[in-house]
Amino acid sequence: MVGGGFGGLHAARKLANVDCDVLIVDRKNHHLFQPLLYQVATAALSPSDIATPIRGIFTRQRNVEVTLADARDVRLDERTVRLGDGVVEWDRLVLAAGVTHTWFGNAGWAPHAPGLKTLDDALELRRRILIAFEKAEFEDDPTLRASLLTFVVVGAGPTGVEMVGALREIAARTIPRDFRRVDTRAAQVILVEGADRVLPGMSPTSSTNALEALQGMSIEVELNTRVTDVDGSGINTSQGRIEAGTVIWAAGVKAVPIASQLYDGDHSPERDGQGRIITEPDCSIPGHPDVFVVGDLAARE
């Protein structure tokens, strides 16, 4: 198993009563409950609340071994996976390494608009959010104070919608009494989305209900708005400039690098526009019935 997320752990558990040896390879030694990362980023939860050691999960499943390593490439013809410090052979392979952030070819935006996929990401966002309020407390210039109290989230998928809701909650309810000179309730929370509705991957009814809920929380929602640039003091969009002390990127994902490092001789399996591996209905790679791709890394034609 390459990847200790939901897909990898589920596959390993299904093999509990099978006469086989299971090796889980992951760059982190913990399983992360990613749906609650935004709550760590907004200081509602501690990292330990959503992270569990992978080894602890399989303490009683004796056919599972865990190794902390970075899978570099997969040789389908040789039935090997190259790790950072060696090579392992396999009889059956499950790729469940997931996806990562994409800034759509604008890597220079990343330092100014971090994403949210790991505990490190969440802690960095928490630091930026809390420091913005601290700086605003002692900022006398009203323009600079307003910028510090402006939080922009780019991307109105589930992560973006959850994040703006949590930001509004802490600004309006959680911390106002902790500050003396600044009214945190005046913080402006803005959600920017290139599509014509929030939660574009869900039903129109869900989008309408979510939009009404966000607007009811005094969250500004900018639809049909494309980001054209991001810098240290805000973003440029197709609708104009937004000065913001904190920008959070939730606008898209792409496959992790291992998806492009699969080799079958001189050929590689077909991938979609996001770099995800195209699979058969049973999640196997075409032409390789013993190699399976599950979770976010898998795509169907």
- Residue 255 pairs with which residues in a beta bridge? 99
Q: Please say whether the beta carbons of 229 and 110 come within 8 A.
A: no
Contact (CB, 8 A) for 101 and 297: no
Q: Give the whole-angstrom CA distance, residue 158 versus residue 169.
A: 17
Q: Which one of the listed residues 89, 137, 162, 243 is annotated catalytic? A: 162
Catalytic residue check, 162: yes
- Encoding tokens for residue 40? 């760590």
Phi, psi (deg, nearest 5) at residue 86: 160, -170
Q: What is the rounded distance in angstroms from the CA atom of residue 259 to the CA atom of residue 271?
A: 8
Cβ neighbours for 14, distance < 8 A, ≥ 6 positions apart: none
Active site residues: 162
